């Protein structure tokens, strides 16, 4: 009896060791997403001339700036509200499967850094529901991680991490983000 139990105890011990390294080293390589989505969204900033096509607008700025053109000093302090189309590929003219809605803020004085808080509202045959995102976005770095803090509908109670990449950037008017959403808590 005792001889048979030993291996089980060893296995348990190994399991506890792995669990503990999870908890205290944040080694995310040990985790596989329970769901994965790659989506693109397209932001056309209002510049005083493109009201018909714009999907976002500056709505707050520091005292030294205005709300038509992004502020100097790396756009520091600009708050932009957006309602951007979401597509399955990187083509601006592809059918939209939902909207990215929320705000971004430029928040560094000496480089381009943004802070994001927004939702994906998906409405397609494959996905119905919303996903909530928050995080810092150091734009000049190739890939940036933000947090997926909640969801509704098909994404009920989901949490995870989203990796963002600037897929295109055209002057101060258009950019496109690639969002690789990895859910680790799916329900």
Nearer residue to a copy of itself within complex by CB, 56 or 87: 56
Nearer residue to a copy of itself within complex by CB, 16 or 90: 16
Whole-angstrom Cα distance, residue 109 to residue 119? 27
What 3-state class would DSSP assign to 179?
A: strand
Nearer residue to a copy of itself within complex by CB, 35 or 178: 35
Beta carbon of residue 115, minimum distance to a copy of itself (angstroms, whole number): 5
Nearer residue to a copy of itself within complex by CB, 34 or 38: 34
Beta carbon of residue 177, minimum distance to a copy of itself (angstroms, whole number): 16
Residue 141 CB contacts under 8 Å (≥ 6 apart), including other chains: none
Beta carbon of residue 122, minimum distance to a copy of itself (angstroms, whole number): 10
Beta carbon of residue 157, minimum distance to a copy of itself (angstroms, whole number): 6
Report which of 117, 99, 98, 97 is spatially closest to residue 107, judged by C-alpha positions: 117
Please say whether the beta carbons of 65 and 79 come within 8 A: no
């Amino acid at each position: 009896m005792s001889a048979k139990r030993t291996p089980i105890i060893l296995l348990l011990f190994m399991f506890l060791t792995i669990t503990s390294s999870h908890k205290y080293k944040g080694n995310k390589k040990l985790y596989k997403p329970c769901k994965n989505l790659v989506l693109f969204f397209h932001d056309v900033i209002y510049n005083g001339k493109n009201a018909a096509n714009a999907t976002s607008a500056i709505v707050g700025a520091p005292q030294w700036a205005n709300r038509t053109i992004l502020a100097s000093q790396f756009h520091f302090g600009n708050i932009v509200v957006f309602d951007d189309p979401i597509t399955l590929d990187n083509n601006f003219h592809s059918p939209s499967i939902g909207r990215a809605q929320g705000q971004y803020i430029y928040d560094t004085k000496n480089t381009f850094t943004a802070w994001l808080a927004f939702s994906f509202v998906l409405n397609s045959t494959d996905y119905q529901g919303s996903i909530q995102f928050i995080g810092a976005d150091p734009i000049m770095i190739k890939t940036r991680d933000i947090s997926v803090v909640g969801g509704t509908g098909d994404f009920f109670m989901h949490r995870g991490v989203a990796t963002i990449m600037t897929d295109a950037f055209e002057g101060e008017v258009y950019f496109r983000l690639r969002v690789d959403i990895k859910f680790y808590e799916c329900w």
